[in-house]
Structure 1
Amino acid sequence: METANNWPVEAVLLHSNDIHSRLENAARMASLIAEERRFYGSDRVLAVDIGDHMDRMRPETEGSDGAVNIELLHAACCEAATLGNNEGLTFVPETLESVYRNYAKFPVLVANVKQLHDSECPAWLAPSTIISKGGIRIGLIGVTARFPDFYELLGWEVTDPIAAAAAEAAKLRPHVDVLVVMSHIGLPLDRRMAEEAPGIDLILGGHTHHLLEEPLVIGTTTVCAAGKFGERIGRIEIGIDPATSRPRFRASCVPVAAYDEHPEAADIIERYRELSSERLGCVVAHLETALEARTDQESPLPNLLAASLRRWTQAEIGLVNNGQLLAGLSAGDVTAGELHAICPSPINPCRMKLSGAHIREALEQSLQPEYIEMPIRGFGFRGLVLGTLSVDGMRLEVEHTASGQLQLSAAFVGDEPLNDEREYTVGTIDMFTFGVGYLSIKQGTEVRYYLPEFIRDLLADALHDSDSIAEAARERIIVRGGAAT
Structure 2
Amino acid sequence: GVKVGIYGMTIPAPLSNPYPVIIREDLAEIEYATIKEMMANGADVIVCLSHLGSELDKQIAASVPYIDFIISGHDHFVFDEPVEIINPEGKITRIVQSGPFYQNIGKLRFTFENGEVTFNDYDLVPVDAGVPPVPEIKAVIDQLKAGITAQYGNVYTKVLGVSLFDLNTQPTGHNNFKDSPLGNLVTDAFINKTHTEISITADGLISDRIYRGAITGADVFRAVGYGYDTTNGLGLRLVTFDISGIELIKGLEVSLSMLGIDSDFQLQVSGMKFRYDPNMPVGERVILSSVRINNQPLDPLRMYSSTVNEGLLGILVSIGGVQVENVNFLPDNEYTVLSKFIKKKNILIYRSEGRIREHAQGDNLTETLTDNPVQEFSYKLSNNYPNPFNPSTKINYSLAGTGLQFTTLKIYDITGKEVANLVNEQLGPGNHSVEWNASDFPSGVYFYKLQSGNFVETKKMTLIK
Fold similarity call, TM over 0.5: no
Q: Greater share of strand residues, 1 or 2?
A: 2
Normalised by the length of structure 2, the TM-score is 0.43
TM score, norm. by length of structure 1:
0.42
Higher relative contact order (CA 8 A, sep 6+): 1
Larger radius of gyration: 2
